[in-house]
């Protein structure tokens, strides 16, 4: 149990950042030459993501008022497991249009990252603003350097990840930001190299470690007010 929890923590703060980096690259592609190339068209999935964050939190908060579930957990049902969402999306890739895929991609990313940021500021005792500021400067440096000096850019990305990791906000956020900074015309090589690693190693490892922990829970915990409240809030609020 402890090993699987440690493995999950390592995967979500390390290799999974590559997944979010790839998602950021795909999001930029949609913004530059895809579903959101028209001005302000990206606001629609972001508005939908906002609803997907607010409604589950509100529903859980209402449930907590009529049960013993702690109201302080209202932020937990906001988040979406982006890897699982995009994995499902990739399985449906042939049956959905590029426009719908772009919409769902932006929706999933905005929903997940928005929830991560909210949870970080609500539930963390300390968010290191200095680390966030340094990370922001390094992201700009990465954006400027990446087109001409990819090796230096990779080092900057690694340093940025290391600094951001201790900021109090989940490091997957920096993965998306760095991915968005990659030049659209030069991203195909990265996508081709990273996609097999992510699809066949990172995501399966994430799924195994994610699903393993619930199987270790006892019935009393599974049917506790807080777990039932979270499940109901997500089932009703997310759709």
Return the minimum-mean-pLDDT range out of 5-19, 21-35, 144-158, 205-219. Answer: 205-219
Total-model pTM: 0.76
Strand, coil or helix: 151: helix
Long-range contacts of 63-66 (CB under 8 A, 24+ apart): 63/229, 63/232, 63/233, 64/229
Higher local confidence (pLDDT), 38 or 26: 26
Ramachandran area for residue 97 (φ above 0: left; ψ -120 to 50: alpha; else beta): beta
CA 32 to chain CA centroid, Å, is 21
pLDDT at 156: 95
pLDDT at 32: 77
**What letter would DSSP give residue 237?**
H
- Note the helical H segments in the chain: 2-13, 15-33, 43-65, 82-91, 98-123, 129-145, 150-165, 172-181, 188-197, 203-215, 219-222, 225-237
Is residue 201 within 8 A of residue 172, CB to CB? The reply is no
**6 falls in which pLDDT band (50, 70, 90)?**
low
| Neighbour-count burial of 224, counting CB atoms closer than 10 A to its CB (0-12 exposed, 13-18 middle, 19+ buried) | middle
- Mean pLDDT, all residues of the chain: 77
pLDDT digits (tens, 9 = 90+) for 70-105: 777 777 777 666 666 666 666 665 666 667 777 777
pLDDT digits (tens, 9 = 90+) for 120-167: 677 666 778 899 999 999 999 999 998 888 899 999 999 999 999 888
pLDDT at 153: 92
Mean pLDDT confidence for 205-224: 62
Give me the helix-helix angle, 15-33 and 98-123, nearest 10°.
Answer: 130
Give me the helix-helix angle, 225-237 and 43-65, nearest 10°.
Answer: 150
The residue written with tokens 């300390």 in the block is: 126
Is residue 187 within 8 A of residue 33, CB to CB? The reply is no
**35 falls in which pLDDT band (50, 70, 90)?**
low
Higher local confidence (pLDDT), 139 or 208: 139
pLDDT at 134: 95
Task: With a cut of 70, say whether residue 13 has pLDDT above it.
Answer: yes
Q: Which domains are assigned to the chain?
A: 2-237 (1.20.1530.10)
Mean pLDDT confidence for 164-186: 85
């Amino acid at each position: 149990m402890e090993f699987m929890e440690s493995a999950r923590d390592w995967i979500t703060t390390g290799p999974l950042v590559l997944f979010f980096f790839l998602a950021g690259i795909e999001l930029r592609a949609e913004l530059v030459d895809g579903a959101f190339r028209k001005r302000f068209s990206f606001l629609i999935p972001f508005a939908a993501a906002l609803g997907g964050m607010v409604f589950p939190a509100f529903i859980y908060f209402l449930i907590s008022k009529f049960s013993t579930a702690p109201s302080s957990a209202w932020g937990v049902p906001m988040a979406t497991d982006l890897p699982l969402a995009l994995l499902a999306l990739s399985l449906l890739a042939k049956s959905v249009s590029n426009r719908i895929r772009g919409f769902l991609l932006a929706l999933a990313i905005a929903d997940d990252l928005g929830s991560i940021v909210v949870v970080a500021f609500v539930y963390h005792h300390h968010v290191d603003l200095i680390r966030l500021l340094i990370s922001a400067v390094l992201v700009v440096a990465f954006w400027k350097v990446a087109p001409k000096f990819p090796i230096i850019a990779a080092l900057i990305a690694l340093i940025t990840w290391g600094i951001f990791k201790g900021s109090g906000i989940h490091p997957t956020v920096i993965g998306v930001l760095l991915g968005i900074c990659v030049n659209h015309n030069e991203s195909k090589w990265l996508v081709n190299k990273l996609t097999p690693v992510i699809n066949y190693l990172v995501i399966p490892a994430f799924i195994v470690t994610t699903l393993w922990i619930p199987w270790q829970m006892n019935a009393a915990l599974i049917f506790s007010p807080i777990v039932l409240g979270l499940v109901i809030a997500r089932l009703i609020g997310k759709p």
